[in-house]
Structure 1
C-alpha cells in the first residue's frame, strides 16, 4: 500500500493528499466512514471521485445519479483540463480560505467548489453542442447550491468562491485564472442587449461580497472590487474600486489580491 500511495503521489500529489486525509478522517470520525469511503477511498482517481460527488449532489427525480455519473465520467475522459482545473481550485480554496484546513474539505463539504465543478461539466456539454443537458446542469446547480453560472461562461483555473450564496455569472462572462469572489456576487448584463453583454474579469481579481459587475466591461488583472460595489465602468489593472457606482479609491495594495484576500480599505489608500 505504501508503494501504491507513493506512486500516486508522484503523478498526482493533490489526489494522494486527499486519500491520506480521507483515511485520517475515517479514523477520527468513524461515523463518516461510509460517506468518505464512497466519496473518496472507493475511487482510483480524482476524476472518478469528482464525478461521483457531482452526480450525487445533482441527482433528483427527473434525472438519476447513474446518468449524471456517466456524463461526468465521459466529460473527464474527453477533456483532461476539467480535472486539472479542479485540482487548481482545490489548492486555491485551501490557500485562501482560512476555514479550509485540508484538501479533502472542498470535495466533501464546500458548495462553492462543488458548484464550480458542476459548471465545468456543464461548460463541456455546452461546447459539445449538448445544450439541453448543459441547461439541466445549470438548473440543478442553481437549485442545489444557489449558484447560477451559465454554461457558456468561460472560467479559468484556481477559482475560489467563498460561501457561494447567490452567485450569478452570465452567458458571455469571462473569468480569468486565480480569481476569488465571495457570496452574492453578480457578473451580469444591463438591460436586454444581446450577444457579448457580460463582464470580462482578469486574472488574480478579488471580488468582495455583494459586488455587482454589470455590462461588457473589463476588470483588469490583480484588481480589487470592494464589498457591495456596483461596477459599471472598466477597472484598470492593480486598482481598488468601491462604491455605488464604483470609483477608483486606491491601488490594489499587493501583487495578488485574490490570493491575499485583503479586503480592507485604509483611509481610501492602500
Structure 2
C-alpha cells in the first residue's frame, strides 16, 4: 500500500477505537485526527516523546518536519518500517499500533531524523537526538549508522547499534541486541547486516563482521566472525548450526534453529 492508503487505514482504525473507548477521544484527536498525513502525525509523536525543558516539543517537531520535507527517502523508509509490523508481528493487528504505541518503531524514526541531521553536518543536534532516544526509548543508535528500509524492532529494549554499523533492508531485530564495535580505530569497526536477516533476542554481534543476506542469529549468541548468506548460527561463540527455512527469515520471524 502507498502512504495515502496506510494513512487512511490509520484514520479508520482510530475512529473505530474512539467510538469504543471515548476516554481516549482527545488522545486520538491529538495524535492522529488533527493531522493531514502520516508525516505530520509522526512528527507530533516524536516531538511529544522527546520534549524537554531546554528543547521543547515545538522545536523537535519543526526539526522532524524539516527532515521529512528535505529527504523524501525518510518517509519511504517510515512507510516500509510501519508496514513491517502487521506483516511480521503477531501481536500487531493494525497500522496505528506502531505509530501510537511501539517504542521500537518510534525510536527508529527518531534515529532517521538524527541520521539526516548528521548528514547535514548538524552533529551536536544529531547527538542530542541520540541521547534523547536512548533515554526515552532505551534504544541507542548512533546517528552515523546506516539503516535500510523495512526494519522491524520487536520490543526493542536495550538495542545498541554502533557508529559504523550498516543494516540492510527488511531486517528484524529483537530486544537486547548489540551491533557493537571492536577496537578503537576510526575505520569500519561495526557489523554489516545484509537484507532479510533475523537477529534474535539478546544476540551480540561484535566487530567489523558481515552477516550475509537471509542469515539467522539465534537468541543469546555472540557473533565474532562473519556469517555466510542463508546460514543459521548459534552459541557463544556462534557456530553454524544449519540453514533458515526461508530465504528471508526476518519476514517469517521463526526463531527455531532445529
Range into which the TM-score falls when normalised by the shorter chain: over 0.9
What corresponds to 2:10 in structure 1?
Answer: 18
SS at match of 1:248: strand
**Which of 185, 210, 228 pairs up with 1:236?**
228
What corresponds to 1:200 in structure 2?
Answer: 192
What corresponds to 2:183 in structure 1?
Answer: 191
Residues 1:104 and 2:80 aligned together? no
Distance 1:224 1:136 in 2: 33
**Which of 118, 143, 153 pairs up with 1:126?**
118
Distance 1:38 1:11 in 2: 20
SS at match of 1:12: helix
CA spacing shift, 1:144–1:177, aligned 2, 3 Å: same
The answer as to whether partners of 2:244 and 2:257 remain within 8 angstroms in 1 is: no
**Which of 139, 146, 162 pairs up with 1:154?**
146
CA spacing shift, 1:195–1:240, aligned 2, 3 Å: same
Distance 2:120 2:18 in 1: 39
Normalising by structure 1, we get a TM-score of: 0.94
1:19-168 alignment, distance < 5 Å? 19-168=11-160
Residues 1:174 and 2:189 aligned together? no
Q: What residue ranges of structure 1 are gaps of 5+ in the alignment?
A: 1-8
What corresponds to 1:5 in structure 2?
Answer: none
Equivalent pairs counted in the alignment come to 258
The answer as to whether partners of 2:183 and 2:189 remain within 8 angstroms in 1 is: no
Q: State the Cα distance separating 1:234 from its structure 2 match.
A: 0.6
Normalising by structure 2, we get a TM-score of: 0.98
Q: State the Cα distance separating 1:224 from its structure 2 match.
A: 0.1
Residues 1:251 and 2:243 aligned together? yes
CA deviation vs aligned residue, 1:200-245 (integer Å, no higher than 9, x gap): 0000000000000000110000110000000011100000000000
